[in-house]
Amino acid sequence: MADPMIDIDNLSVTFNRGRKPVKAVNGVSLKVKAGEVVALLGESGSGKSVTMRSLLRLHPKGTTITGRMRVAGQDVTELSARQIADFRGAVTSMVFQEPRLALDPVYTLGQQITETIMRHERIGRQAAFERALKLFEKVRIPSPERRLKTYPHEMSGGMLQRAMIAMALACNPKVLLADEPTTALDATVQIQILLLIRELQAEYGLSVIFVTHDIGVAAEVADRIAVMYAGRIVEEGAVADIIRDPKHPYTQGLLGARVELAGERDRLVTIPGAPPDLTDMPKGCAFAPRCVRVMDVCGNTVPPLIGKGEAGQVACLHYA
Amino acid sequence: MMDAATPLPLASDDPRDRGGPAQPLVSVRGLVRHFPVKGSGFLKPKKVVSAVDGVDFDILKGETLGVVGESGCGKSTTARLLMQLMRPDRGELLFDGESVGETLPLRDYRRQVQMVFQDSYASLNPRLTIEDSIAFGPRVHGVSAKVAIGRAHDLLHRVGLEPGRFAGRYPHELSGGQRQRINIARALALEPRLVILDEAVSALDKSVEAQVLNLLLDLKRDFGLTYMFISHDLNVVRFMCDRVMVMYLGKVCEIGPRDAIFDAPGHPYTAALLASMPKMDPGERTLVPPLSGDPPNPIDPPQGCRFHPRCSFSEDICTRVTPRLVTGLATGQSQHAAACLMRDPGALHSRAPALEEA
């Protein structure tokens, strides 16, 4: 098998800003093949966004990062400041949750996209502008020529997210990181953006990491799902396997708590309790305090992520 | 004093009930609220945002009415008008048959209608402890401090937070789910009859959301409450609500019993909204977006049917005639109404049903 496009090996991220260090990511390993879409699924504080931002080294100074990350053959942890600036946008680019905050309010969209292209390639302003126009047509923004000359505040959320995607694709990256790109959008717009990302991913052969908290969104876009809990991947596998036959008790609980399963019942099945405090992680399995199938050994052993048959992996001592 | 073990009597034998079970708890007729747009009007044409533009609906006693729609459709403005947080430009609001602000004084009305907001942190005073926040309302309404604090503790217990551990804490010391439980407890402190939940669970994680939804169902049963449940999550609305109202650009486009709305939507917008929900089955992915384009700007809503620029059944007549809410759709449910010319017998739309002979 060819080398994976993204290879994260035992990544740990600790933020040292507050009184106590916050262990946001605790030993995540993830491989994404060329042209594959992996959804990182988890609740807030599970470390899904932090994992993804590590790939662009977007963390504040003083953050402790250990482990190895390779993207398209380059070791991201080893790159110099200059090299990482070349890397961002050209090899790996990102679409953020809130395009209104991610785009610069004082420049037009056209200026921002041409700037991106000219930063990475030896190309004239006119040629860069024409490429921006092509990109706007590609993401199906109506009257693209006029829209390139508008400022972010003049556009609706859905259109801005399209512009954001156009900008992310401006330098033909190999990897697209999407951080909840549809969470802030309305339902009818969300499905349009999801279909657009899927279509462009296939056309450009992109490897995509798609962070989301919504299982339905993951089911619409992803080839594989990696479920995160308290900074670790607890289960990983093909979309259909995870949704039809989840193995880890947390995944089972998450899928079981869905309101659409409630039918005529008048109560929802819930996972009791709340996620652990990341400054004070339990010694063993992080899910053990909430788990219905907890055993004595769960309290002091961190379960490794191991294969569960065909292609998936699960981190639970019941399957060890 | 309220006691968790002896819940309030149900709405049917509530001493505050005036009109009887058949009288809707809330009746809204012709509700209108426009906001002037800043920077317009001086040497420029005066512009308004028609946030709510002629809305009629009822909330029946003991039911949960769901309100769905995209941003800018006016669902939150409707809630704020109902709560009297802002004055409507026009329209009539009846609470249990009494006209709010006239026969029913505003103070008495507000005691009976409470609201829970989406942002659990912004809606709590950061300088008040939790018990003070919950006891604040009753004290304003003349309950003694001791009784009010006692009631706050009962409510904390009722929403699943141990008063001994939580009563003296401040909002920033709690998680989002816990804060939303506090907001719910505070809303119940005045023993209201109607609770307006404006995206109350939308900011919570899925596993916490399920816990809070269960809590809301328990409280509704125990205290005999009526809910107006505003959400953009159709799955949650389907689970929680008895009836559903769909709004689009300041107007009601469909209202009816939950199953009728979800199984046989009468308005093309409702159908598109339902089709836009992500499918849980990766084998049955959505292939074509049900709607193209963004929801239009409520500053200049389209003429005629407001949905016509995005509607695949749109005809010339739709650009000129504003559809009325027509009851008695094909589902045979008299409560089910949709504002679409295709459902209006005798309208000039080619798909409109023929007029029945009298």
Query: Is A283 domain-assigned?
Result: no
A27 in the same domain as A165: no
Nearest CB neighbour to B207, from listed A190, A220, A253: A253
Claim to verify: residue A192 and residue A168 sit in the same structural domain: no
Q: Does residue A181 sit in the same domain as residue A87? A: yes
Tell me if A278 is assigned to some domain.
Answer: no
Question: Interface pTM (ipTM) of the complex?
Answer: 0.85
> The domain containing residue A256 runs over which residues?
6-91+174-273
Residue B1: is its pLDDT beyond 60?
no
With contacts defined as CB-CB under 8 Å, which chain A residues touch B282? 219-220, 222, 239-240, 243
Cα separations (Å) of A298 from A302, A303, B182, B258, B333?
7, 8, 33, 44, 54
Closest CB from B280, B291, B293 relative to A219? B280
Last residue of a domain, one of A157, A172, A187: A172
Number of helices and strands in chain A (H, E): 11, 12
d(CA A303, CA A300): 9
The answer to whether residue A291 is domain-embedded is no
My answer on whether A204 and A122 are in the same domain is no
Q: Which tops the pLDDT comparison, B9 or B33? A: B33
Q: Give the end of a domain, one of A156, A172, A188.
A: A172
Amino acid at B213: L
A182 and A168 both lie in a single domain: no
* A187 and A38 inside one domain: yes
Q: Which residues of A200-229 are buried (b: 16+ CB within 10 A; e: fewer)?
A: bbeebebbbbbbbbbbbbbbbbbbbbbbbb
What tens digit of pLDDT does each residue of B60-100 get?
999 999 999 988 889 999 999 999 999 999 999 999 999 99
Print pLDDT tens along chain A (320 aa): 568 899 999 999 999 988 889 999 999 999 999 999 999 999 888 999 999 999 999 999 889 999 999 999 899 999 999 999 999 999 999 999 888 999 999 999 999 999 999 999 999 999 999 999 999 999 999 899 999 999 999 888 889 999 999 999 999 999 999 999 998 888 889 999 999 999 999 999 999 999 999 999 999 999 999 999 999 999 999 999 999 899 999 999 988 888 777 666 678 888 888 888 888 888 999 999 999 899 999 988 999 998 866 678 999 998 87
Interchain CB contact of A213 with B (< 8 Å): yes
Let me know whether A81 and A20 are in one domain.
yes
**Which member of B236, B281, B290 has the closest CB to residue A219?**
B281
> How far is Cα A267 from Cα B221, in angstroms, rounded to an integer?
12
What is the chain A residue with the closest CA to B214? A267
In a domain, A212, yes or no: yes
Question: CB–CB of A260 and B280 under 8 A?
Answer: yes
Range with the poorest average pLDDT among B152-161, B222-231, B315-324, B329-338: B329-338
The shortest C-alpha distance from A107 to chain B (Å) reads: 22
Q: Is residue A138 part of a domain?
A: yes
Give the domain CATH number at A253.
Answer: 3.40.50.300
Verify that A183 and A138 share a domain, yes or no: no
What does the pLDDT look like over B195-211, one tens digit per residue?
Answer: 999 999 988 888 888 89
3-state DSSP assignment of residue B245: strand
> Does a structural domain hold residue A245?
yes
Same domain assignment for residues A254 and A112: no
A222 is a domain residue: yes
What does B316-340 look like in DSSP terms, one character per residue? GGGGT-PPPPEES-TT--TT-EE--
Of A154, A172, A190, the residue at which a domain comes to its end is: A172
The first and second tokens of residue A33, run together, are 């093949």
Give me the number of domains chain A comprises: 2
Pairwise CB contact (< 8 Å): A188 & B276: yes
Say how far apart CA A191 and CA A217 lie, in whole Å.
9
**Measured between alpha carbons, how far is A240 from A220 in angstroms, rounded to an integer?**
11
Q: Which residues pair with A28 in a beta bridge?
A: A11
User: How are beta strands A64-71 and A37-41 bridged, if at all?
Assistant: unpaired
Residue B189, CA distances (Å) to A108, B158, B192, B330 in order:
50, 11, 8, 43
Distance to chain A for B209, nearest Cα, Å: 9
For residues A84 and A224, state if they share a domain: yes
Q: Are A180 and A109 in a shared domain?
A: no
Min CA distance, A217 vs chain B (Å)? Answer: 6
Judged by CB atoms closer than 8 Å, whether chains meet at A268 and B213 is answered as yes
Is residue A141 packed enough to be buried (19+ CB in 10 Å), middle (13-18) or exposed (0-12)? buried
A82 and A209, same domain (yes or no): yes
> Does A28 fall in a domain?
yes
pLDDT of res. A161: 94
Of A43, A192, A274, the CB nearest to B289: A192
DSSP for residue B141 = T
Contact A268 B279 (CB under 8 A): no
pLDDT at B145: 93
